[in-house]
């Protein structure tokens, strides 16, 4: 029970938007106005939102940087690659075990390679800034190789590297040649590139695709081979999805990149379908794999029990194989009773409650499904670094203009592989599947169509807006990250971290849904929110008392 | 094994740091700035730094940590970040209205050579800083020193505000160093018991340990006020705790405003607390009250009562120089044996001081400034210990080597209590000992055979 009285019906979205903008200098107000969209949920599309533009200095953004998007998000979770950060110590320190990419050391057991618990850095010093850090980087690669003999070393640039002109790509190529049995490559993911983590995703996608995907042609055995793209195994999400795949008889060759290995990336070109979870971070690899190897991709979502069932059915429909279709139905039938029982139990306590979600680039959409299953409504949502296609759907991609701040993010040209390009299905077969409504290829409709009319969709939410929104609309739960958590809770509003899951999880798949229902039930019904006022504050009138003589 | 690739055999590394025992300067500057009342820390660099530093501090304190950033783009990284900072000033004062903005830099703005004092001058000239509001700045290049250096640089920047009036205020400036808000409270409590008026800076008590009331204050009630910072120039003296954290600021007040200073060790443990209390008593010319004598006596009593469990137990330590020096002295003073000690923070003086403190111990002592957790782990594999004391990152080593583990220092990401229960002073000494004892006795209870299992210990 929350101590704050609900005020949600009192203000219309236009009034709320005006309130959010009221305090800003005129220039800032104009800019922010375009990043705050009142969702009209029209069938033919939604109003346009401005996204993926530079952050306003001093506004107290939630955003991070390109290095975080590249090393922290995409490359960090791969357990057998030594991720060497070329820079002063901070970047390496802060990305050391702070994202909860869980890892199974693999069939090799305790001897398996697992560098997840290590942070590797060249720890640049003043003299490296002055005289250049290339020699130190080469030496660090050698030392890492001598100590660990990894199959691969990835080098990450940080802010000063680009400025002082260290050529990390040449150093990496030279060390790769020198070492012989270790694939060394580099990422120019300096923190100032682009406007957010998003540029780092793109840079990571390009280099993974160029340097790893497809380097291992040794056949991967298994039926219904897919890769799961954009799933980072936070709190064991990937484990739960893999459990379900296994039960269905689906072979997941590679997860990009939760609980992944170098070999998974290297053989990923052998999959017959790419299933994309996080569209923002990995759609580049999905597109490039289609062009180069002929692997189609579909958008999936394993957050929410119904969404999970729907995604499994899409995969089964794609393979057009009765055995798989039946197996998937059997698995859903087996898993759903527990989910339904959990919903039945919590629904009386969650139904009608409201949520707000401001998470990176995909979860603000994915978790909508889970809240719907609990009878809860998302009244406001947005991304830190989504692009317009994540809000409005991929149909708007042709109209997106790349602005000056993101122009220098490399777009790589990909062609069909001369020997290995193999369309998995004919164009006709794909059209037939789409016509039957079973799957849509290379399609993502974005967050906006799933949000109700009159809800507020806000890009790059900042501290001032978060506080104002919460005060005006009093949601029953607010979902974002660690930086927002405690300021929201001080306001007496339960806060759920949807990056780290507050050490909980998994929330994906069927078991994950059950975990999430219980967690939200616990949060919105916790007694703690009723303790903020002391008895003498709740009943402030002065009263006399007899003094016993 | 979580750190299965760490070999026992030690090879020298010249270029590769693995599992650092330090982080970079700006986070220290951010933490220090939060100890000023009404202050918004500002990170002049690309926004990733600011996000990381806020997150790390928040994970440690479980409290909101607000800070703004200049949000450099590629353009500003090439042509300079002046326009970003000017915009930031105007947005911050309009939207968030702090009393003061404390700007620090990152490796980005330092490499391109942005001149903060010049930008601030321009901002003042152009009226970007409203009447009665302040901006201070510290240069905090991440490629020099560590988070401790950044803390020290921002504390030193606070002395810019000092303004002598010619009339002494009768107070002692107390620079507590990088300790928890509860430690700062404890130091104020001791000063108050002695009847000494103090100006503590920075002071994060009341800022990073605020109550849950249904109201969020971006600028909580705590923190040293600007008026107090101005008044530091009129104090009778300065006591600075920790050479690495607080020495520079104290000496700055001494050389600029003739406020005499005494730089002491951080008051962790018996002897360092003795020196702190003694210095305060001498500087302020006050007596040490009976209450403090009782606290001291209780600590000595606990040491004598439980000495059998401490005696000659070997300890490995990782952390920051000021804290480690005091902890090493404390452990030696109760006849424990710190045998492996690393800090990531550079400074030859550190190794020298530790060697002095551990001279005459019955074991060889390994000590390294600019060391890392990887090296510490290797040392532990070669010479096992009975206890590991470090920040949270030590838990991986503790689990692999099955060693009792005391979380102490920064950051502690996985336990509560450190923000509420001090470890400085005699009371803090009692708490440190209680924690160490509990760890050692829990281990004894776990390891003893059923025949040897005891009720009374």
pLDDT tens-digit map of A489-502:
999 999 999 999 99
> How confident is the model over A26-37, as pLDDT tens digits?
999 999 999 999
Does residue A343 fall inside a structural domain?
A: no
Q: How far apart are CA A103 and CA A430, in angstroms?
A: 35
Chain B contact for A68 (CB, 8 A cutoff): yes
User: And the tokens for A375?
Assistant: 């009878």
**Neighboring chain A residues of B95 at a CB cutoff of 8 Å:** 23-24, 28, 58-59, 464
**Mean pLDDT of the residues in chain A:** 95
Shared domain check, A139 and A18:
no
Domain count for chain A, please give it: 2
What pLDDT is attached to residue A163? 96
What per-residue confidence (pLDDT) applies to A2? 42
Mean predicted confidence (pLDDT) in B257-281: 98
Q: In this structure, are residues B146 and B23 in contact, taking their beta carbons and an 8 Å threshold?
A: yes
Same domain, yes or no, for B300 and B286? no
Q: How far away is chain A from the Cα of B74, in angstroms, using its nearest Cα?
A: 5
Among the three residues B290, B323, B351, which one is the final residue of a domain in this structure? B290
pLDDT at site A1: 39
Q: Is residue B197 part of a domain?
A: yes
Q: How many domains does chain B have?
A: 3
In this model, does residue B179 exceed pLDDT 70? yes
Domain boundary (A164, A191, A218) is at A191
> Residue A484 falls within a domain, yes or no?
yes
Whether the pLDDT of residue B436 is over 50: the answer is yes
Interchain contact A120–B (C-beta under 8 A):
yes
Chain B CB contacts of A530 under 8 Å are none
Which residue's structure tokens are 């991070």? A64
Same domain, B259 and B312: no
Which chain A residues are within 8 Å of B55, Cβ to Cβ? 94, 98, 481-483
**Active-site annotation holder among A18, A29, A54, A99:** A99
Binary contact (B16, A66; C-beta < 8 A):
no
Q: Are residues B194 and B279 in the same domain?
A: yes
Give the Cα separation of A221 and B256 in Å (integer): 75
Q: What is the pLDDT of residue A4?
A: 46
pLDDT > 60? residue B173: yes
Please check whether residue A255 lies inside any domain of the structure. Answer: no
Q: Does A24 touch chain B (CB under 8 A)?
A: yes
Residue A295 lies in a domain: no
Quick one: A50 and A133 in the same domain? Answer: no
Chain A (194-233) residues lying within 8 Å, Cβ to Cβ, of chain B:
194-195
Which chain A residue lies closest to B392 (C-alpha atoms)? A97
Same domain, A357 and A495: yes
In a domain, B118, yes or no: yes
Put simply, the answer to whether B143 touches A159 (Cβ < 8 Å) is no
Length of chain A: 549
Q: Report yes or no: A537 at the B interface, CB cutoff 8 Å.
A: no
Q: Which of B107, B136, B161 is the last residue of a domain?
A: B161
Q: Which pLDDT score is estimated for A3?
A: 40
Q: How confident is the model at residue A549 (pLDDT cuts 50, 70, 90)?
A: low
Mark yes or no for CB contact B95/A23 under 8 Å.
yes
Report the distance separating Cα A465 and Cα A447, nearest Å: 20
What are the angstrom distances between the C-alpha of B32 and each of A438, B25, B151, B219, B229? 58, 11, 6, 14, 13
Q: What is the pLDDT of residues A97-146, one digit of tens each?
A: 999 999 998 777 777 899 999 999 999 999 999 999 999 999 999 999 99
Is residue A357 domain-resident? yes
The CATH number of whichever domain residue A371 belongs to comes to 3.40.50.1980
Same domain, B313 and B441: yes
Domain of B372 in residue numbering reads as 2-15+292-447
Are residue B98 and residue B114 in the same domain, yes or no? yes
Contact A487 B64 (CB under 8 A): yes
Q: Which of residues 441-500 of A touch B (CB under 8 A)?
A: 463-464, 467, 481-483, 485-492
Whether B90 maps to a domain, the answer reads yes
Q: Please name the residue that has the structure tokens 């122009």.
A: A407
Residue A228, in any domain of the structure: no
Instruction: For residues A105 and A177, state if they share a domain.
Output: yes
By the CB < 8 Å criterion, does A96 face chain B?
yes
A68 given a catalytic annotation: yes
* Residues A121 and A25 both lie in one domain: no
Residue A366 bears catalytic tag:
no
Q: Do residues A38 and A149 share a domain?
A: no
Domain limit, last residue, from A191, A216, A244: A191
**B369 CB within 8 Å of a chain A CB:** no
pLDDT at A45: 62
My answer on whether B323 and B434 are in the same domain is yes
Structure tokens at A68: 């975080």
Catalytic residue among A63, A79, A86, A201: A201
Q: Is residue B69 within 8 Å of A57, Cβ to Cβ?
A: yes
Task: Give the range among A3-17, A257-271, B408-422 with minimum mean pLDDT.
Answer: A3-17
Alpha carbon of B132: minimum distance to chain A alpha carbons (Å):
19
For chain A, positions 382-441, list CB contacts with chain B under 8 A. Answer: 404-405, 408
Q: Is residue B45 domain-shared with residue B8, that is, in the same domain?
A: no
* One domain for residues A378 and A461: yes
A99 touches chain B (CB under 8 A): no
Question: How much is the average pLDDT of B313-333?
Answer: 98
Do A128 and A71 share a structural domain? yes
- Would you say residue A318 lies in a domain? no
**Average pLDDT for chain B:** 98
- pLDDT in the model for residue A108: 76
Q: Are residues B80 and B40 in the same domain?
A: yes
- Give the chain A residue nearest B98 (alpha carbons): A58
Q: What percent of chain B has pLDDT over 90?
A: 100
Q: Which of A97-106, A510-519, B8-17, B352-361 has the lowest mean pLDDT?
A: A97-106
Do B333 and B395 fall within a single domain? yes
Residues B157 and B68 in one domain: yes
Last residue of a domain, one of A478, A499, A520: A499
B178 within a domain of the structure (yes/no): yes
User: Same structural domain for residues B250 and B312?
Assistant: no
Provide, as residue numbers in chain B, all residues whose Cβ is less than 8 Å from the Cβ of A144.
16
Q: Are residues B199 and B98 in the same domain?
A: no
List strands edge to edge, sheet with A81-86: A183-187, A152-157, A81-86, A120-121, B17-18
Statement to judge: residues A16 and A95 lie in one domain: no
* CATH number of the CATH domain containing B197: 3.40.50.1980
Shortest CA gap A224–chain B (Å): 34
Q: Are residues A369 and A487 in the same domain?
A: yes
Segment B226-253, tens digit of pLDDT:
999 999 999 999 999 999 999 999 999 9
* Percentage of the residues of chain B whose pLDDT score is greater than 70: 100
Please indicate, yes or no, whether residues A37 and A122 belong to a single structural domain of this protein: no
- Which DSSP category does A74 fall into? I
Question: Are residues B63 and A486, on separate chains, in Cβ contact within 8 Å?
Answer: yes
pLDDT tens digit string along A143-197? 999 999 999 999 999 999 999 999 999 999 999 999 999 999 999 999 999 999 9
* Residue B189: Cβ-neighbour burial (10 angstroms; 0-12, 13-18, 19+): middle
| Binding-face residues of B in 139-198 toward A, CB within 8 A | 141-144, 146
Tell me whether residue B166 is in a domain: no
Q: Is B192 domain-assigned?
A: yes
Structural domain for A171, as ranges: 66-191
């Amino acid at each position: 029970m929350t101590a704050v009285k609900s005020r949600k019906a009192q203000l219309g979205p236009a009034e709320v938007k005006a309130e959010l903008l009221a305090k800003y200098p005129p220039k800032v107000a104009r800019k922010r106005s375009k990043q705050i969209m009142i969702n009209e949920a029209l069938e033919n599309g939604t109003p346009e939102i401005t996204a993926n533009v530079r952050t306003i200095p001093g506004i107290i953004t939630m955003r991070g940087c390109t290095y975080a998007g590249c090393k922290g998000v995409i490359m960090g979770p791969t357990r057998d690659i030594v991720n060497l950060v070329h820079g002063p110590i901070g970047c390496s320190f802060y990305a050391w075990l702070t994202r909860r990419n869980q890892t199974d050391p693999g069939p090799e057991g305790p001897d398996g390679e697992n560098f997840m618990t290590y942070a590797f850095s060249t720890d640049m010093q003043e003299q490296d800034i002055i005289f250049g850090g290339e020699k130190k980087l080469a030496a660090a690669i050698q030392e890492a190789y001598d100590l660990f003999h990894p199959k691969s070393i990835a080098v990450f640039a940080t802010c000063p590297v680009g400025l002082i002109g260290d050529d990390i790509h040449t150093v990496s190529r030279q060390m790769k040649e020198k070492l012989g049995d270790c694939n060394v490559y580099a990422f120019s993911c300096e923190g100032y590139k682009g406007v957010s983590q998003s540029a780092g995703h793109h840079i990571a996608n390009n280099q993974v695709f160029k340097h790893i995907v497809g380097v291992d042609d040794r056949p991967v055995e298994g039926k219904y081979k897919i890769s799961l793209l954009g799933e980072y195994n936070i709190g064991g999400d990937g484990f739960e999805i893999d459990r379900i795949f296994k039960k269905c008889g689906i072979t997941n060759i590679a997860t990009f990149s939760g609980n992944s290995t170098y070999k998974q990336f290297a053989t990923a070109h052998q999959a017959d379908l790419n299933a994309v979870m996080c569209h923002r971070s990995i759609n580049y690899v999905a597109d490039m794999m289609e062009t180069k190897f002929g692997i189609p991709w579909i958008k999936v979502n394993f957050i929410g029990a119904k969404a999970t069932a729907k995604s499994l059915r899409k995969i089964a429909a794609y393979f057009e194989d009765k055995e798989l279709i039946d197996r998937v139905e059997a698995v859903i039938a087996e898993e759903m009773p527990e989910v339904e029982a959990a919903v039945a139990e919590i629904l009386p306590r969650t139904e009608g409650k409201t949520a707000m979600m401001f998470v990176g680039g995909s979860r603000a959409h994915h978790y909508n499904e889970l809240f719907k299953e609990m009878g809860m409504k998302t009244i406001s949502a947005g991304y830190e670094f989504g692009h317009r296609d994540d809000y409005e759907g991929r149909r708007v991609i042709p109209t997106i203009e790349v602005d000056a701040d993101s122009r220098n993010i490399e777009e790589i040209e990909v062609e069909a592989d001369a020997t290995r390009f193999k369309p998995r299905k004919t164009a006709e077969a794909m059209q037939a599947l789409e016509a039957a409504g079973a799957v849509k290829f290379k399609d993502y409709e974005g967050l906006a169509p799933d949000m109700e009319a009159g809800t507020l969709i806000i890009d790059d939410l900042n501290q001032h807006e978060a506080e104002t929104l919460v005060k005006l609309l009093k949601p029953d739960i607010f979902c974002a990250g660690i930086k927002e958590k405690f300021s929201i809770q001080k306001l007496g509003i339960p806060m759920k971290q949807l990056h780290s899951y507050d050490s909980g999880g998994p929330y994906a798949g069927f078991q994950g849904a059950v975990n999430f229902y219980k967690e939200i039930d616990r949060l919105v019904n916790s007694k703690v929110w009723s303790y903020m006022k002391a008895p003498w504050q709740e009943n402030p009138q002065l009263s006399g008392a007899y003094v016993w003589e | 094994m979580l750190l299965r690739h760490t070999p026992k055999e030690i090879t020298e590394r010249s270029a590769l740091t693995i599992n650092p025992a330090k982080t970079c300067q700006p986070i220290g500057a951010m933490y220090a700035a939060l100890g000023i009342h009404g202050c918004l820390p500002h990170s002049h660099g690309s926004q990733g730094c600011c996000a990381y530093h806020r997150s790390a501090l928040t994970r440690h304190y479980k409290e909101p940590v607000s800070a703004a950033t200049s949000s450099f783009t590629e353009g500003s990284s090439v042509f300079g970040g002046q326009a970003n900072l000017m915009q930031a000033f105007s947005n911050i004062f309009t939207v968030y209205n702090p009393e003061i903005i404390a700007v620090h830099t990152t490796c980005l703005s330092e490499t391109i050579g942005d001149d903060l004092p010049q930008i601030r001058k321009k901002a003042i000239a152009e009226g970007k800083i409203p009447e009665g509001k302040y901006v201070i700045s510290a240069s905090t290049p991440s490629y020099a020193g560590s988070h401790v250096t950044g803390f020290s640089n921002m504390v030193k920047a606070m002395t810019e505000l000092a303004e002598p009036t010619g009339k002494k205020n009768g107070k002692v400036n107390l620079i507590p160093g990088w300790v928890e808000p509860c430690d700062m409270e404890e130091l104020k409590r001791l000063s108050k018991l002695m009847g000494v008026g103090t100006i503590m800076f920075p002071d994060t008590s009341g800022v990073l340990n605020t109550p849950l009331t249904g109201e969020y204050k971006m600028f909580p009630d705590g923190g040293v006020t600007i008026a107090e910072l101005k008044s530091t120039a009129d104090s009778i003296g300065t006591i600075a705790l920790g050479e690495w954290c607080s020495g520079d600021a104290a000496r700055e007040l001494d050389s600029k405003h003739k406020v005499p200073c005494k730089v002491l060790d951080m008051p962790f443990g018996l002897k360092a607390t003795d020196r702190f209390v003694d210095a305060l008593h001498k500087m302020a010319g006050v007596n040490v009250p009976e209450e403090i004598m009782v606290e001291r006596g209780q600590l000595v009593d606990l040491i004598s009562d439980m000495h059998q469990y401490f005696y000659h137990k070997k300890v490995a330590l990782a952390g920051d120089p000021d804290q480690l020096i005091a902890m090493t002295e404390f452990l030696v003073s109760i006849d424990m044996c710190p045998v492996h000690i690393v800090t990531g923070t550079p400074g030859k003086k550190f190794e020298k001081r530790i060697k002095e403190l551990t001279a005459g111990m019955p074991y060889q002592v390994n000590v390294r400034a600019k060391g890392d957790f990887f090296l510490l782990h290797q040392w532990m594999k070669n010479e096992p210990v009975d206890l590991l004391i470090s920040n949270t990152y030590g838990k991986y080593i503790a689990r692999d080597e099955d060693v009792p583990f005391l979380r102490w220092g920064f950051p502690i990401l996985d336990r509560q209590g450190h923000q509420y229960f001090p470890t400085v002073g005699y009371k803090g000494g009692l708490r440190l000992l209680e924690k160490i004892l509990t760890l050692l006795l829990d281990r004894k209870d776990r390891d003893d055979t059923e025949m040897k299992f005891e009720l009374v210990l």
